[in-house]
Amino acid sequence: MTRVAAVDCGTNSLRLLVADVDPASGRVADVVRRQEVVRLGEGVDRTGRIAPQALARTLEVTRRYAAEAAELGVTATRFAATSASRDASNRDEFVAGVLDAIGVEPEVLTGAEEAELSFRGATSALAGRHPAPFLVCDLGGGSTELVLGAGSMTAAFSMDVGSVRLHERHAFGDPPTAEQAAAACADIAEALDEAALHVALGDAATLVGVAGTVTTITAHALRLDRYDSARVDGAVLGVTQTLEACRSLLAMTRAERAALPYVHPGRVDVIGAGALVWADVVARVQDEVASHGGELTGVVTSERDILDGLAMSAAGVQG
């Protein structure tokens, strides 16, 4: 087993996985898995730059992650940066700051690279449990990746819609108005139309949702009294159940969402926009599968995602 660290810096959250990985089988055994909401992408959609306060928050958590990884004896680290740092004109400041904080240069992933790693991580534990092809949806703060494949990725598309981006772009109210939600849905529909040109959504046998928005919606659908990873990871929800959970979160006020025991405080304001994206993706995939003569009856939630893909690659697992 090889002990490695993987860090995923997204638009909304900064996540760490320290894991023991078997280079031969690719099996990932968690040692530590944690996240902090740093909101690196705050204002990036509007200004095109990472805000100083957002960068400071991110680097402070990065230093803590670096210290923890060192204490746990990791032998290799990969730090991946996604949508916000791709889009920012001052990303060089971010790169230099991360290098100083953790000792490795962050890899500013392309949408295709992000998609492949997400697919690899998400499907690592699904083979034999659910039918392929898998359509993995990695719903982030700034972008959403759709990835199709069986043993490996065959098609992918990165959409510039996510929970933080849409929440800020359409100035969601508390709760969002019908007009704000409709404007966001128009953005999502346009993105899905483009995605469908690159990814055969109707070929999916299993739809898999990953990342914090999806896991939070799943916890809401299950009406958990706290966030319970064991119940969320691998959960299979009905399509109607999923859509109802999304509509419920979208309609809530910020105070009502904050009172839910499974919603991270840093996700309270943007989970409505994220729920809108997930609902539209699920509904669109259901329609596309039906148009191909199939039936999408359930949606799988996975806590295995890009972090697991990064850990596997850091350990030298061949994909």
- Where the chain has pLDDT below 50, the residues are none
Residue whose pair of structure tokens reads 């850990």 in the numeric block: 311
pLDDT at position 240: 96
pLDDT at position 29: 92
Residue 129 neighbours by CB under 8 Å, 6+ apart: 234
Six-digit token pair at 111? 């949408």
pLDDT at position 83: 62
For residue 80, the one-letter residue type is A
List, in order of start, the domains of the chain with CATH numbers.
2-111 (3.30.420.40), 126-302 (3.30.420.150)
Nearest residue to 4 (alpha-carbon basis) of 29, 25, 24 = 29
The answer to whether the beta carbons of residues 146 and 135 sit under 8 Å apart is: yes
The answer to whether the beta carbons of residues 13 and 37 sit under 8 Å apart is: yes
